[in-house]
Structure 1
Amino acid sequence: MRIAATLTKEGLISKLPDGPYIVIFDTEKKDAEKYDNPGFTLKEGRRSAVVDLFIDKKVDTVITIPESFCDISYGKAKSNGIRFIRLNESLPYEEVIENLPTYLNNATSDIPEEELFKRR
């Protein structure tokens, strides 16, 4: 299984376009790949650019916090079979990976409407 998250420079899980890095943890290989976040410097289509990377890199699950996905990026992820580990707040990535079995028990294929980003 390949599990992705957007990270801040400090290693905290952030909203899809807001962290400069994407980390993809492979549970079989027990290693992680790190990428520059393609949505970090964009002005538009930021979340979709991140989801395109997830699809390209064959990500199965995304660790997410509220307002990470918008309607478009969520629809794209969901239609490609991506599941979600929903956190209530930003947590250290290493802490989530260390306790991954617990978080995977709560993985879901849906994100509630109120957790999606809305343009203001």
Structure 2
Amino acid sequence: MRIAATVTKEGLISKLPDGPYIVIYDKEKKDAEKYENPGFPLKDGRRIATVNFLIEKNVDHVITIPESFCDISYGKAKNIGIKFIRLDESLPFEKVIENLETYLNSAAYDIPEQELFKKK
């Protein structure tokens, strides 16, 4: 099982396009890999670029906070079968991994409409 999140330089979970890094934790190997977020430097298509990278890296779960996904990026992630670990607020990635079993119990295939990013 591979669990990913976009994170800040300080290691806090961020909205999908706003974290300069993507951390992918492999539950079986108990190991994490850190990558540059390909969606971070873009002006347009930031969320979908990040989701495409997660798909390419065979991610099973994404740790997410409100307004991380838009309709398009959410639809693509959902259609590929990615599950979402929804947080109410940004937390340190390490803290979530330390309590991973608790968070996995609440993982879902859906994100409520009101938590999706809407272009203003």
Q: Match of 1:44, as an amino acid?
A: D
Residue 83 (structure 1) shift: 0.3
**What value does the CA root-mean-square deviation take over the aligned residues?**
0.3
- What are the residue-to-residue correspondences of 1:29-44 with 2, within 5 Å? 29-44=29-44
Residue 102 (structure 1) shift: 0.2
SS at match of 1:78: helix
Q: Match of 1:34, as an amino acid?
A: K
The answer for unaligned runs of 5 or more in structure 1 is none
- Deviation string 1:32-63 (CA, Å, 9 cap, x unpaired) is 11100001000000000000001000000000
Q: What's the counterpart of residue 68 of structure 1?
A: 68
Which aligned segments of 4 or more residues in structure 1 are displaced greater than 6 angstroms? none
Q: Match of 1:75, as an amino acid?
A: G
- What are the residue-to-residue correspondences of 1:1-120 with 2, within 5 Å? 1-120=1-120
TM-score by length of 2: 0.99
TM-score by length of 1: 0.99
Q: How many residues align?
A: 120
Q: Match of 2:46, as an amino acid?
A: R
